[in-house]
Amino acid sequence: MTRFAALLVTLLLARIGANAPAAAADDAAQAQIRTALTLWMDDFNAGRADKVCGLFAPDLRANVRGVPERDYGALCDLLQRSLADRSRHYACALDIKEISVWGEVAVVRLVWTLTVNENGADTLSVEPGMDIFARQPDGTWKITRFMAYQQ
């Protein structure tokens, strides 16, 4: 019976060990995605219009409640025009709820909180959403689809 138990423990440890590379890859992907989102937030908050399109894949489809679907060009144009508008100041905060990775695709559940200051008055928008990232040919992770809904 002791040999059987030893064999069972050995097989179980081998199975756990086989999953370790996948778990490490998922952890690395999660860290890369978390970093990409945080850098995007920093660039947006600093008004770096030349950098805010870098988080999105060329095949982007963006759905935000109440507005028509946007592709990469439309979203990029909106972001750059908004940041160029000196009559307003934008600041966003990021709350990542979950990052799940499946191979070359990842899903991020998050909440963006956007504060828009215009003429000294702040407007706050809280937008829970879901971002779908795809690993790009160069190894970076970019948003290929997202949905956001203002609370």
SS (H, E, C) 123-150: EEEEEEEEEEEEECCCCCEEEEEEEECC
Closest alpha carbon to 106 in 96, 120, 115: 96
Mean pLDDT of the residues in the chain: 88
Q: Which pLDDT value is given to residue 46? A: 96
CB contact set of 54 (below 8 Å; sequence gap of 6+): 40, 43
Nearest-angstrom CA–CA distance, 61 and 131: 10
CATH architecture of 23-148: Roll (3.10)
Domain parsing of the chain, residue ranges: 23-148
Give the residues of the chain that fall short of pLDDT 50.
1, 4-5, 7-9, 11-13, 16
Q: Which pLDDT value is given to residue 12? A: 47
